[in-house]
Amino acid sequence: MVAARTIHISRNHEKNKRIAAMGIISLLLVFICAFLAVCIRIEFGSVPIDIKVLNPADVSMETAEVPWNLVLVNKWHPLQEETEAEFTLLSNGQQVDKRIYPDLQQMFDDARAEGVYPIVREGYRTHKQQTEVYDDKVAAYMKEGYIRVIAEKLAGQWVAVPGSSEHELGLAVDINADKDRSDNYTVYSWLADNAWKYGFILRYPQGKERITGIDYEPWHYRYVGKEAAEQIYEEGITLEEYLEK
């Protein structure tokens, strides 16, 4: 009986020793991991590097002076203040930055000469108007039963969050068909092929959603000037990628 108990105690003793050893090894591993984490942080700095890679627009804007026609506005680069540009009032009440008007008018004249009839559905929007458009979209999703956080996320895929819309710059236009004489498909196709010649780019192309932060919009054109537009069109890139160069 005594012998059996001795064996039992000694087995328990062995077991405790093993548990203690495993504890020490685990602790050592934790220390090694923490040490490595600190080393990596020192190596790369405390900036979240993955975000830099995902958003190529991050780097470019801080370094050089950017001309007015290449100003980048997206969800990662919101407008700092309302634009002080001068505007041209279009015949349907929409406004655009005065500097893009001649090229816009020429583009429309040439399209019409080819039997394609575009209209500017939306031009410049004030910050207040952009906020209203965004809030309406969020409200519509909430009406469908989504909670606010989700509704905002969904709305943000279609309408730029106030401050991050190019419409607030006056350099972007939503172009649709004059429905009596053309259809949207014809207008979008013509624009996709020709807008670059007049300094406009399809700002939110298909397959570039991760870079632009906005879903494909065949109607949204942004003025960048003829030189940039030609390169962006020929290389099939976005404004973000162009500025990154």
Residues of this chain that bind Zn ion (CB under 5 A): 174, 220
Contact 146, 217 (CB under 8 A): no
Nearest CB to Zn ion, comparing residues 137 and 220 = 220
- Closest separation between CB of residue 244 and Zn ion, Å? 22
Task: Just list the catalytic residues.
Answer: 217
Residue 135: CA atoms inside 13 Å, Cβ hemisphere, count? 6
Report the residue number, 204 or 242, with the smaller CB distance to Zn ion: 204
Identify which of residues 120 and 228 has a Cβ nearer to Zn ion in the complex: 120
Distance of alpha carbon 47 from alpha carbon 49, whole angstroms: 6
**Closest distance of CB 173 from Zn ion, Å:** 7
Closest CA to 139 of 130, 127, 152, 124: 152
| HSE-CB for 96 with a 13 A CA cutoff | 24
CB atoms within 10 A of CB 185: 10
Cβ 122 to Zn ion shortest distance, Å: 6
Nearer to Zn ion, 35 or 185 (CB): 185
- Residue 17 to residues 4, 5, 21, 22, 25: CA-CA distances in angstroms? 20, 18, 6, 9, 12
**How far is it, in rounded angstroms, from Cα 160 to Cα 68?**
20
CB of 218 to Zn ion, least distance (A): 11
Q: Which is nearer to Zn ion, 208 or 220 (CB)?
A: 220
Smallest separation (angstroms) from Zn ion to the CB of 31: 54
Contact 240, 211 (CB under 8 A): yes
Q: Give the span between the Cα atoms of 239 and 203, in whole angstroms.
A: 7
Q: Which long-range contacts (CB under 8 A, 24 or more apart) does 111-117 make?
A: 111/187, 111/190, 111/191, 111/194, 114/190, 115/182, 116/182, 116/186, 116/187, 116/190, 117/177, 117/178, 117/180, 117/181, 117/182, 117/187
Residue of closest CB approach to Zn ion: 220
